[in-house]
Amino acid sequence: MCYSPKQRPTLQQAFEKKSPIKIIGTRKNTKTLFSDKEEYTLSKSAKLHPTSLAFPYNDKFDNKLHTCEEALEAPIYQQIDLKVKVITKQPDKQTVVKNEKTYNKVECMVADRTNSIKLVLWEDTIDKVSAGKSYLLQNVTVRSFDDTK
């Protein structure tokens, strides 16, 4: 979404405070005939008003989408979402034994416009990911091994 410079400070302040705003003066785009998403345009004359909700803000539903750069800065054990392209994927599975159980893992290198990071795929997810394709990965847990996230 693109905002006019005069509206940007109001939107930025509301975003930082996590407070809702009411937008008056939007137009529904009719050019998205073959899309299942609705798109709206903010006109220059759109009005932005602070408002309140009948329920409290819940951090659980906050946007968890991170860039690779932000993932490297995220705290250990935080769950995040990543929109990345798989650059490389090891061809062979590695076997790991933990608590007398055997697990398979594969290491991948994933990247976005900000950075690249190593991603470890376990068990069921190994065959769902291919090198050269882009994915929205949800509920990825940030971990550290040998001082590397």
Higher pLDDT, 51 or 128: 128
pTM > 0.85 = no
CATH superfamily name and code, 63-141: Nucleic acid-binding proteins (2.40.50.140)
For the stretch 99-123, pLDDT in tens is 999 999 999 999 999 999 999 999 9
For the stretch 10-61, pLDDT in tens is 778 888 887 888 888 777 776 655 666 777 777 777 888 888 877 777 666 6
The residues spanned by each domain of the chain are 8-59, 63-141
CA within 13 Å, CB half, 11: 12
Distance, CA of 68 to CA of 116 (rounded, Å): 6
